[in-house]
Structure 1
Amino acid sequence: MSVPEIFDITRENAPGHYKPSQTALLLLDYKALVIGRIGPKAEATVKEAVQMRNWARSKGIVVLHALVDFTGTPPFSTTKEFSRLSALSAQVQREGGGEEPRDLLEGDGDVEFNRRPGYISALQSDGIKQFLKDRGIKSLVLMGLSTGGCVLRTALDAAENEFVVTIVRDGCADAKEEVHEFLFGKVFGRGDFVVSGREFREGYDRLKR
């Protein structure tokens, strides 16, 4: 799908069709612990996330932080990852690492949603679906860590909940680079749109409604 088609305001299934008030930017699990594990590529995604966040706020697009809460409710017992997630929760409570970078938290107006460990899609966060419905949000712009985890699962979940989904590729990273490359090369772009942060900002800014 070419960039001009993404910003075709006549197409109900394109993000360009929706006004800022109908659009949300979702920042997925930019946690210090994850950033540290992935390394420099994750740090680069944070810089892109800061640019996207600042731009979205200037346009009147609501910014949502969707985060796994490792300090609250424990993982649900039937998840296969129960042992790993329980150990990770204990580590975060003991050593920290569950916070977001300071640059993603400056200013007021963003909304935070948390989800129980074991839930991967951001749409499993407490209250987020009702919030999106109440605000009349139709178009979701996703970026986060990791590509093969919350980004993939949120994109699939959101598409099946009838949202128009856009993934910002340079706002995503994965500890396994081959997973990141495979998803962006072979999977993403079918039920969603894929652009760079710059492409999205510039394309959306050019729209004439």
Structure 2
Amino acid sequence: MDVQKATIGQAPDGYLSRAVHALETARAAGLPVIHIAIGLRPGHVDTHPRNKLFGALPPEVFTPDDPGVAIHPDVAPADGEIVVRKNRVSAFAGNDLRQILAAQDITHLVLAGIATSGVVLSTALQAADLDYEVTVLSDACADANPALHETLVNDVFTRRGRTSTIDEWAQTLGS
């Protein structure tokens, strides 16, 4: 989630290779992959100035004409993979993600992305409230604040679902 050209700079060294590993693991297991990306309308007519995060963005960023809106090429969607654009922090905001999940009969979400304290947190909490099973891949998430990342992974996400490393998760896919 949110592994876009504009956001990749927020991730620590080595993050992208871990994100690729998680994506390749899901693909190899034949799991449906849904890419989530920030996508705002031109002029940000879908954001409000009161929104502390999105209201403060320059009006040209994360719009269709912004090259930074593109999903990073190393984790770009393969043929047949779904891309869902969102206009807030949670993957569920301003789109048809719930409808897509229902249509695909998906009940267990495995989350990874930038940032742990942003899209991963918001999506994990909302998904749990919507009665999805949630697994957060701890080493496929990144945050500018490593201490906050550790707190979320070790204390918060485990109260709403599971946390796992990519390799631990991969081992469960064969059983």
State the TM bucket, normalised to the shorter chain: 0.7 to 0.9
| C-alpha distance in 2 between matches for 1:125 and 1:201 | 31
Aligned partner (choices 116, 140, 143) of residue 109 of structure 2: 140
- The equivalent residue for 1:33 is 6
AA matched with 2:9 = G
Alignment CA distance shift 1:95-1:130 (3 Å): closer
- The equivalent residue for 1:18 is none
- The equivalent residue for 1:188 is 157
- Unaligned 5+ runs, structure 2: none
What is the deviation of 1:71?
A: 5.3
- The equivalent residue for 1:5 is none
Alignment CA distance shift 1:69-1:160 (3 Å): same
Per-residue deviation, residues 84-143 of structure 1 (Å, max 9, x unmatched):
22x1x4245686322222121263121000012xx1110125111101111111100000
Pick the structure with greater CA Rg. Answer: 1
Moved over 4 A (4+): 91-95
Per-residue deviation, residues 164-185 of structure 1 (Å, max 9, x unmatched):
0000000011112221122123
Asked if 1 retains the 8 angstrom alpha-carbon contact of 2:10 and 2:114, the reply is no
Asked if 1 retains the 8 angstrom alpha-carbon contact of 2:136 and 2:162, the reply is yes
- The equivalent residue for 1:15 is none
Asked if 2 retains the 8 angstrom alpha-carbon contact of 1:113 and 1:125, the reply is no
- Equivalent position SS for 2:134: strand
- The equivalent residue for 2:33 is 63
Aligned partner (choices 81, 85, 90) of residue 110 of structure 1: 81
Q: Select the structure that is richer in helix.
A: 1
Q: Quick one: percent identity of the two aligned structures?
A: 28
Matches within 5 A, 1:29-178: 29-40=2-13, 44-70=14-40, 72=42, 74=44, 75-77=46-48, 78-85=50-57, 87=58, 89-91=59-61, 96-105=67-76, 107-116=78-87, 119-178=88-147
What is the deviation of 1:72?
A: 4.4
| C-alpha distance in 1 between matches for 2:94 and 2:167 | 28
Asked if 1 retains the 8 angstrom alpha-carbon contact of 2:116 and 2:141, the reply is yes
Between the two proteins, the alignment pairs up a number of residues equal to 172
- Unaligned 5+ runs, structure 1: 1-27
| C-alpha distance in 1 between matches for 2:89 and 2:124 | 11
